[in-house]
C-alpha cells in the first residue's frame, strides 16, 4: 500500500499528454495503467508531470482519513495549471477517478466546478466516450453508477508490465461490510472475472516478460470466476496459473480469513510457485471488537487458520492489517490484539488508527476512542510490529535465498530484487539480470530490506523456491 503518498505514472510524449496521479492500494495502481491503456487509442501518451498536460487523472483512495482533503488540495494546484493551459489557448481535461469520486462525486463538483470528469472504479471502460464528451462541451461528465456491463469486457488488452513483476486484478468489490470500511459502498458488490479471461491475461503478461504475477482483489480469496464447470475457486486458479511455463512466482492479495478454504490452503503446500508469504488482515485480536467490526471470525479462528497454513507451508511468512481505537475498544481489547501479534509473529504489517468514514456503521457509534489514546496504542502496536519485522529479517542472515531480480539496486553496480517473502534485497551484481531468479547469500538485515552477495553462477530456479 502507498496510501500516504501520491505516485505518478509517466513515460514518453505523444500527440496528447496524459498525467495520472495514483493514491491508495495496488488495485488503484493497476486501474491507473488500465485507464492509460484505454486512452492510448485516442492518442494519449503518459507524461511525467502535469504541467502542460492535455489530461490529468487523479485516481483516488477513500479508505482512511484526509483522503478527500488531499484530493481537494491537489485539485487546487491543478486548477492553476489548467488556467495556465487555457491562457495559452490549450485545454487540460481534469478527471477525478477512484473511490473518492465514487463516494463524493457531488461534493467534488460543488467544491471544484472546474473538474471535467468524475468517474467511479466500475466505469473506466467508458473513459474514451467521457473524454470525447468533455472535449466537446463545457460542464462536467459524471459516471459513478455500477453498470450492468463488465468493464473488463470493454477494456483493451493490458499493456506490457514495466518489469518482471505484474499485477492482475481478478476480483473487485466486497460483500463483507466490516463496520469501519467504505469499500462495499465505493467498489460495490463482489464481482469475479472469469477463469479463462484471467488465465489468458496471465499468459499475455508472461509472454511480455512477467515472471511474477500478483492476483489482486479487495477480497481476492472470495474469487469465484466462472470456469468450464461453473464457479471456480482461487485454489483452482492458482493451480491453473502454475501450468504457465516461465511464470515463476504467484502471489495474491488481499484476503479475508473467512474465505481461506481447504483447497487454497492445500495449494500453499502443493504449488511451489505460490510464494510463502500471505497478507491476511485480522484487524483486532479481541473477540468483542471483531464482533463489533462484523468480521465474522474470532481471534481463535484466525490463530487456527494460521496454524493450518503453517502446517501446509512451514516457511510461510505473514502480514496483516490492524486497526487500533475502533469504537468501543478498551485497554483489555487492545491487550488482546498485542497478545495475538505475539502469538503469530508477523514478518510485516500495516496498522492504522481508526478513522470514521461517513456512511459506515462504526462512524456513528457513541463509543469513539479519544485521539490521544489511539495514538498511544498505535505507537505501542507499531513498536512491537517493527521488532517482529526486524527479527524476521535478522533471521534471514546467513541463509541462501532465491531472489527475483527486478532491476538495478540502490547504488551503481547493484542489483535489486525480492525474496520469496517479499523483502527487498540488494547485492553487487551485473546489469542484465532483471527477470532472472538468482541465488544469493543474505549478509545483513535492515528494518525494511536485506543486503546479500550474489552466489557464483546465478541459476534459474524455475519452479523451486528457497
Binding of ligand SF4 by 183 (CB under 6 A): yes
Binding mask 250-289 toward ligand SF4 (x if CB under 6 A, else -) reads: ------x---------------------------------
Consecutive H or E run containing 246? none
Q: Which span (53-61, 159-167, 243-251, 348-356) binds ligand 5AD, by CB under 6 A?
A: 348-356
For residue 374, what are the contacts with CB-CB under 8 A and spacing of at least 6? 324, 325, 353, 354
The site that binds ligand SF4 (CB under 6 A) totals a number of residues, namely 10
Consecutive H or E run containing 150? none
Nearest to ligand 5AD of 17, 64 (CB atom)? 64
Nearest to ligand SF4 of 174, 206 (CB atom)? 174
Binding of ligand SF4 by 62 (CB under 6 A): no
CB 7 within 8 A of CB 38: no
Nearest to ligand 5AD of 139, 177 (CB atom)? 177
Phi/psi of residue 289, each to 5°?
Answer: -75, -40
Residue 279 bridge partners (DSSP): 319
The site that binds ligand 5AD (CB under 6 A) totals a number of residues, namely 12
CB of 290 to ligand SF4, least distance (A): 11
Q: How many other β-carbons are positioned within 10 Å of the β-carbon of residue 77?
A: 10
The one-character DSSP state at 323 is E
Residue 452 bridge partners (DSSP): 427, 442
Residue 46 bridge partners (DSSP): 18
Binding of ligand 5AD by 152 (CB under 6 A): no
* Spatial separation of the C-alpha atoms in residues 78 and 56, rounded to whole Å: 8
Q: Scan residues 424-453 and list those touching ligand 5AD (CB under 6 A).
A: none
CB 172 within 8 A of CB 217: yes
CB of 172 to ligand SF4, least distance (A): 10
CB of 64 to ligand 5AD, least distance (A): 5
Interaction partner, residue 174 (ligand SF4, ligand 5AD, none; CB < 5-8 Å by kind): ligand SF4
Helix (H, G, I), strand (E, B) or coil at 75: helix
CB of 28 to ligand 5AD, least distance (A): 12
Binding of ligand SF4 by 174 (CB under 6 A): yes
Binding of ligand 5AD by 30 (CB under 6 A): no
The set of long-range contacts for 436-440, using a CB threshold of 8 Å and a minimum separation of 24, is: 436/404, 436/405, 436/460, 437/211, 437/248, 437/402, 437/403, 437/404, 437/405, 437/461, 437/462, 438/402, 438/403, 438/405, 439/400, 439/401, 439/402, 439/403, 439/466, 440/400, 440/401, 440/402, 440/403
* Spatial separation of the C-alpha atoms in residues 422 and 420, rounded to whole Å: 5
Interaction partner, residue 224 (ligand 5AD, ligand SF4, none; CB < 5-8 Å by kind): none
CB of 316 to ligand SF4, least distance (A): 21
* Spatial separation of the C-alpha atoms in residues 26 and 323, rounded to whole Å: 20
Burial 249-287 (b: 16+ CB within 10 A, else e): bbbbbbbbbebbeeebbebbeebbbbbbbbbbbbbbbbb
Binding of ligand 5AD by 64 (CB under 6 A): yes
Binding of ligand SF4 by 210 (CB under 6 A): no
* Spatial separation of the C-alpha atoms in residues 345 and 360, rounded to whole Å: 31
Interaction partner, residue 162 (ligand SF4, ligand 5AD, none; CB < 5-8 Å by kind): none
Options 144, 218, 273, 393; binder of ligand SF4; rule CB under 6 A? 218
Binding of ligand SF4 by 177 (CB under 6 A): yes
Q: Which span (46-54, 82-90, 350-358, 428-436) binds ligand 5AD, by CB under 6 A?
A: 350-358
Q: Which residues bind ligand 5AD (CB under 6 A)?
A: 63-64, 180-181, 281, 283, 321, 323, 352, 354-355, 357
Binding interface with ligand SF4 (CB under 6 A): 174, 176-178, 181, 183-184, 218-219, 256
Amino acid at each position: 500500500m502507498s496510501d500516504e503518498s501520491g505516485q505518478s505514472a509517466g513515460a514518453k510524449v505523444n500527440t496528447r499528454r496524459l498525467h495520472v496521479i495514483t493514491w491508495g492500494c495496488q488495485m488503484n495502481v493497476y486501474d491507473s495503467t488500465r485507464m492509460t491503456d484505454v486512452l492510448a487509442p485516442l492518442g494519449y501518451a503518459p507524461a511525467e508531470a502535469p504541467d502542460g498536460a492535455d489530461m490529468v487523472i487523479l485516481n483516488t483512495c477513500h479508505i482512511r482519513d484526509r483522503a478527500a482533503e488531499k484530493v481537494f488540495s491537489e485539485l487546487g494546484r491543478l486548477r492553476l495549471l489548467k488556467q495556465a493551459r487555457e491562457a495559452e489557448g490549450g485545454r487540460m481535461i481534469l478527471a477525478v477517478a477512484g473511490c473518492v469520486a465514487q463516494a463524493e462525486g457531488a461534493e467534488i463538483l460543488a467544491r471544484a466546478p472546474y473538474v471535467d470528469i468524475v468517474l467511479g472504479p466500475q466505469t473506466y471502460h467508458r473513459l474514451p466516450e467521457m473524454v470525447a464528451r468533455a472535449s466537446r462541451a463545457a460542464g462536467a461528465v459524471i459516471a459513478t453508477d455500477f453498470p450492468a456491463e463488465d468493464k473488463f469486457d470493454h477494456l483493451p488488452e493490458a499493456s506490457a508490465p514495466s518489469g518482471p513483476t505484474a499485477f492482475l486484478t481478478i476480483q473487485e468489490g466486497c460483500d463483507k461490510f466490516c463496520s469501519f470500511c467504505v469499500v462495499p459502498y465505493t467498489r460495490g458488490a463482489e464481482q469475479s472475472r472469469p477463469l479463462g479471461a484471467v488465465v489468458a491475461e496471465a499468459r499475455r503478461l508472461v509472454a511480455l516478460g512477467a515472471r511474477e504475477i500478483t492476483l489482486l482483489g479487495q477480497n481476492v480469496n472470495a474469487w469465484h470466476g466462472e470456469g468450464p464447470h461453473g464457479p471456480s475457486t482461487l485454489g483452482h486458479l492458482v493451480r491453473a496459473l502454475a501450468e504457465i511455463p516461465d511464470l515463476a512466482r504467484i502471489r495474491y492479495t488481499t484476503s479475508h480469513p473467512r474465505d481461506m478454504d481447504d483447497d487454497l490452503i492445500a495449494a500453499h503446500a502443493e504449488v511451489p510457485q505460490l510464494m510463502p508469504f500471505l497478507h491476511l488482515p485480522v484487524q483486532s485480536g479481541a473477540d468483542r471488537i471483531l464482533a463489533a467490526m462484523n468480521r465474522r471470525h474470532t481471534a481463535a479462528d484466525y490463530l487456527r487458520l494460521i496454524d493450518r497454513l503453517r502446517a501446509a507451508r512451514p516457511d510461510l511468512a505473514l502480514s496483516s492489517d490492524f486497526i487500533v481505537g475502533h469504537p468501543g475498544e478498551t485497554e483489555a481489547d487492545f491487550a488482546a490484539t498485542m497478545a495475538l501479534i505475539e502469538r503469530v509473529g508477523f514478518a510485516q504489517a500495516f496498522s492504522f488508527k481508526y478513522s470514521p468514514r461517513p456512511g459506515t456503521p462504526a462512524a456513528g457509534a457513541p463509543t469513539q476512542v479519544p485521539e490521544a489514546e489511539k495514538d498511544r496504542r498505535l505507537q505501542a502496536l507499531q513498536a512491537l510490529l517493527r521488532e517482529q519485522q526486524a527479527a524476521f529479517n535478522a533471521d534471514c542472515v546467513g541463509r541462501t535465498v532465491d531472489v527475483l531480480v527486478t532491476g538495478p539496486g540502490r547504488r551503481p553496480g547493484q542489483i535489486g530484487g525480492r525474496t520469496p517473502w517479499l523483502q527487498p534485497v540488494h547485492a553487487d551484481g551485473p546489469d542484465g539480470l532483471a527477470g532472472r531468479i538468482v541465488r544469493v547469500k543474505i549478509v545483513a538485515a535492515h528494518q525494511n530490506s536485506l543486503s546479500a552477495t550474489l552466489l557464483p553462477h546465478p541459476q534459474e530456479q524455475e519452479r523451486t523456491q528457497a
